[in-house]
A and B are shown apart, each in its own frame.
Chain A
Amino acid sequence: MQAAEGGGVVRERGVAVADPLLDARDLVKHYGGVEALRGASFTAYAGEVVSLIGDNGAGKSTLVKCLSGVERPDSGTVAFDGRPVELDSPVAARALGIETVFQDLAVAPDLDPAANLFLGRELRKPGVLGWLGVLDKKEMRRRAIGSFDDLGVTLQSIDVPIGSLSGGQRQSVAVARSVVWASKLVFMDEPTAALGVVQRERVLDVIRRVRDQGMAVVLISHNMPEVLAVSDRVEVLRLGKRVARFRAADTTVEELVGAMTGALSQEDAG
């Protein structure tokens, strides 16, 4: 078994000689009696795609929520760019350059794609009108069309509520929103789940492009061939704990599945 011990292999490969961009340690999160995270650790380096995999209910989405400021872990530490950080709100995560595609997308179905792209970051008109809070809808629409074009999001119309789009289109808009605003790290919680073959390839292309710009991309997916195709590294979560880490180039689907189900366990992975 050729697992990456600690992160040594990564360093050896030379893609991320520096310290981790994101280093979460021993996160614990309870929901009432349910222990969703039981001391989970997670690491991401700048300029890499790292997949976070695990069975249903392993705690992947919970981990992502904790690391994007939506949920607060009961205990554990998070370091970002080498400094300890307190991700106590979505705003705090955004300020660090972290963006997220949530599994449930977190879009406003009644608003159009441009409004969703700029949600919480609306552009205002210059001058007094802007000071009064008046939106620059035209400019937002123009930029949104540009971004969607750029990212290969196909929409027939720019002013329909996003709830009337297909599931895949909605997912594409959520992906676009995350990569447009991210500057350091993007979490994508099953961003390709509802996508057709063509759109899936587009999202994977976008993920590679974002990585090539030097950002870290964290991909959550249940599709193992996809994981192996796009990732540099893979971290495996089982029952709320990290149980294994792999270099994508050195592993196989069997090995990943083994780690997810517990048939195979790696020491020194936590």
Chain B
Amino acid sequence: MTPQRKSLAKRLVGTNTLWIALVLLLLIAVFGALRPDAVLTVFTLQTTLVETSVLLVLAVGMTFVIITSGIDLSVGSVLVFSGVTSAMTMNSLNGGDATNAGWGVVVVGLLVALASGAAWGLLNGLLIAKAKIPPLIVTLGSFGAALGAGQLISNGSNVSGVPNVLSNNLGTGTTFGVPNLVILAAVVTALGALLLGTTRFGRHTYAIGSNEEAARRVGIGVTRHLMAVYLLAGVLAGLAGFMAMAYFRVASVTGHDTDNLNAIAGVVLGGTSLFGGAGSIVGTIFGVFIPAVLRKGFVIVGVNVYWQPIAVAIVLVAAVWFDQSRRKARDRS
């Protein structure tokens, strides 16, 4: 008997992604019905998108990490560290205040942000893949250390003097009405989706998360691959730091304590399994927007915003429970 492919529709119904997309649409529809005037305006849409862009970039890296059955608690702190090193480098290149600096300085700033993220990612990867320390512990350590290092360098205060050309273009500029920040996040997300979904790198990411020992036995370089995945998460956190700095016109050392949890929540809501081996970037997009839409929606329809984290928590726990029971039903032996 020749095995058949399932129809596209059947394959779609089998995925968590479809369900999470429906939840998101349902939320938008409900809020839209309650306050059609406010919810569906371009402005609401745009601010929601902009505010979610930075988180989305973090969540793309987090998706790779969680699919390997790892976790990265350090992303928010690495974001802070990268923003601080980047802003301070730009300032020092421009006599202490980079506000009026040109593109050359901005490019150096970007490279410093990416390199800072890469350094932390590499450190995480080394400790996790080579020294075999559990990712939860390693990244809990770098979560504290990266924030501490950032605050040490900046003397505990926010770093201002972000170049205007950066803030006016990447931070708040638009192209054909679409915020540039959103475009950048979309490009990163698309590249991440292609890398995960169509390449050998992506395939090996799933394989390692599904059965690390099996991956090793078929000759996949598990250690190297895990290091690359944590490096990727670090670089993306560095980029997110650069984006946040461009948007807020300051490299902030506060307000990012829960970025890691928000990114993890988005990834898991999007159907990526905390047990590893399964998930997608497309799911992560939906997953990241659910908390954002809830928050915006609650504000608009006048529900106390403190309900938002509670609502997110309920959806999150339900999503994990759903995933867990599906797995139990599936892995019969």
A residues contacting B by CB (< 8 A) are 68, 70, 89-91, 94, 100, 102, 104-111, 113, 115, 119-122, 124, 132-135, 137, 141, 145, 148-149, 154-161, 163-164, 166-167
Contact = CB atoms under 8 A, between A and B. Distances in A.
A120 B273 CA distance: 22
B205 to A, nearest CB: 11
Nearest to B209: A110
24 contacts: A90-B218, A91-B219, A107-B211, A107-B214, A108-B206, A109-B210, A109-B331, A111-B206, A115-B203, A115-B207, A119-B218, A122-B203, A135-B200, A137-B198, A148-B2, A149-B2, A157-B4, A157-B5, A158-B3, A159-B5, A159-B11, A160-B6, A163-B331, A164-B331
B203 A157 contact: no
Given A159-B5, A159-B6, A106 B214 contact: yes
A145 B199 CA distance: 21
Contacts of B273: 110
Given A110-B210, A115-B203, A157 B6 contact: yes
The main secondary structure of chain A at its interface with chain B is loop
Contact of A119 (B11, B209, B215, B277): B215
Contact of A110 (B206, B213, B219): B206
Nearest to B216: A90
Nearest to A156: B3
A167 B277 contact: no
A90 B273 CA distance: 28
Contacts of A159: 5-6, 11
| B interface bracket (residues with beta carbon within 8 Å of A) | 20 to 34
A62 to B, nearest CB: 14
B290 to A, nearest CB: 24
Contacts of B11: 159
B219 A94 contact: yes
Contacts of A157: 3-6
Given A91-B219, A157-B5, A111 B210 contact: yes
Nearest to B4: A157
A91 B220 CA distance: 9
Contact of A161 (B217, B330, B333): B330
A119 B201 CA distance: 12
Contact of A106 (B5, B203, B211, B330): B211
B200 A124 contact: yes
Contact of B5 (A94, A132, A158, A167): A158
Contacts of A122: 200, 203
Contacts of A100: 217
Given A111-B206, A167-B333, 4 more contacts: A110-B209, A120-B207, A160-B6, A161-B278
Nearest to B333: A167
A139 to B, nearest CB: 14
Contacts of A160: 6
Contacts of A121: 218
B330 A154 contact: no
A148 B4 CA distance: 12
A119 B214 contact: yes
Contact of A70 (B5, B203, B217): B217
A135 B211 contact: no
A6 B215 CA distance: 37
A134 B195 CA distance: 8
Nearest to B277: A110
